[in-house]
Amino acid sequence: MTDPNTPQPAAAAPLSHEQDVKWASFAHLGGILGILPSLIIWLVFKDRGSFTNTEAKEALNFQITLTIATVALWIAVTVLTIVTFGIGAVLGFLTYVPWILGVVFSIIAFLQVKDGRHYRYPFALRLIK
């Protein structure tokens, strides 16, 4: 049995508007580093701010899309390299395209969201609803 006098952990306080916008913009900017910043921000703050929830999901969906594209490109370049006896390795630079797109679109999204406006990436699989 639990003691009724034992203090219960308090629920996390909702984010203020400024904090909501700040964490939402960091979720997009974190895309420069990959999928983890967006995932962590979404998991920690999704119930504390609606703007952060929406924008972190958008950033996370975009990062998942880029991760899938990167893996697909690595597989394609590897197969092409094997089939062409190494000549296909010249196309290895293509594996950096998703990262470059991620950096560019993450910065654009950060600049939009830090002003309190929603941002929707031009291409992303909407896996997390």
Q: Is the pLDDT at 8 greater than 90, yes or no?
A: no
For 40-99, the pLDDT digits (tens) are 999 999 889 899 999 999 999 999 999 999 999 999 999 998 998 888 788 888 889 999
Q: Is the pLDDT at 1 greater than 60, yes or no?
A: no
Q: Is the pLDDT at 3 greater than 90, yes or no?
A: no
Look over the chain and give the mean of its residue pLDDT values, rounded to a whole number.
89
Other CB atoms within 10 A of residue 76 CB: 14
pTM of this structure: 0.85
Give exposure, 31-68, as e/b (b: 16+ Cβ within 10 Å).
beeebebbbebbeebeebbebbbbbbbbbbbbbbbbee
